[in-house]
Amino acid sequence: MRVGVLGGTFDPVHRGHLALARAAREELALDEVLFVPAGQPWRKAGRIVAPAEHRLAMLRLALEGEQAFRVETLELERAGPSYTADTLETLRAARPDEELFLVLGEDALADLPNWVRPERILELATLAVARRANSQKAAADRLPGLEERIVWLKMPLVPVSATEIRERVRRGLPVGELVPPAVGAYIRERGLYRDAEQG
């Protein structure tokens, strides 16, 4: 089996995440895509993040009806910070015969050399990267072997970010075009992101 792994804070999950997963699945003929919400996202230390229960609930709502998409909660169940290398090692142990593809945007690729054990990530998975900016060379210069482990996705740019969504909610602006309807309803019903203290 060919399995995509799409990690993130998903605070909240939005249409860009889903478009990225769909593009990876179609272009790489993936059998399934695992959405892996971070428990303690160490790269966002110091930023208020919505509680895991809300991020997980929104993710499950967003993936309803998507046959090949599944939520993988191992990072939420693990104590301490969420490191991609640890997650991939756990998945590899559970799925020794499967081919893993780490699905990410080009902004994350640029940051990859700063992650914990990036060389191990390259050993465990092929990177499936959606283009955003010209950041390949900067990352490749700092992480030997990176270019050989990348598959570039041809997906169109989806100009949406979780930061923008949170800010729009705080300002009382609609987010209906940016998130699945069920996620928008969940945000409204739970009063998420209405002030900076809530994340």
The full set of domain ranges for the chain reads 2-198
Closest CA to 33 of 108, 121, 83, 100: 100
Task: Report the predicted TM-score, pTM, of the whole model to 2 decimal places.
Answer: 0.91
**Radius of gyration in angstroms for the set of CA atoms belonging to the chain, rounded to a whole number:** 16
Q: Regarding the domain with residue range 2-198, which homologous superfamily does it belong to in the CATH classification? A: HUPs (3.40.50.620)
The pLDDT, as a whole number, for residue 82 is 85
| Cα-based distances in Å from 106 to 21, 120, 131, 176 | 14, 19, 5, 25
The pLDDT, as a whole number, for residue 199 is 46
pLDDT, tens only, 26-39 = 999 999 999 999 98
- Distance of alpha carbon 33 from alpha carbon 67, whole angstroms: 10
| Cα-based distances in Å from 197 to 50, 69, 81, 122, 194 | 10, 32, 21, 37, 8
pLDDT, tens only, 10-23 = 999 999 999 999 99
The pLDDT profile of the chain, 199 residues, written as one tens digit per residue, is 999 999 999 999 999 999 999 999 999 999 999 999 998 876 665 678 999 999 999 999 999 999 999 999 999 999 888 899 999 999 999 999 999 999 998 888 989 999 999 999 999 999 999 876 554 555 666 777 888 899 999 887 788 999 999 999 999 999 999 999 999 999 999 999 997 554 4
The pLDDT, as a whole number, for residue 158 is 81
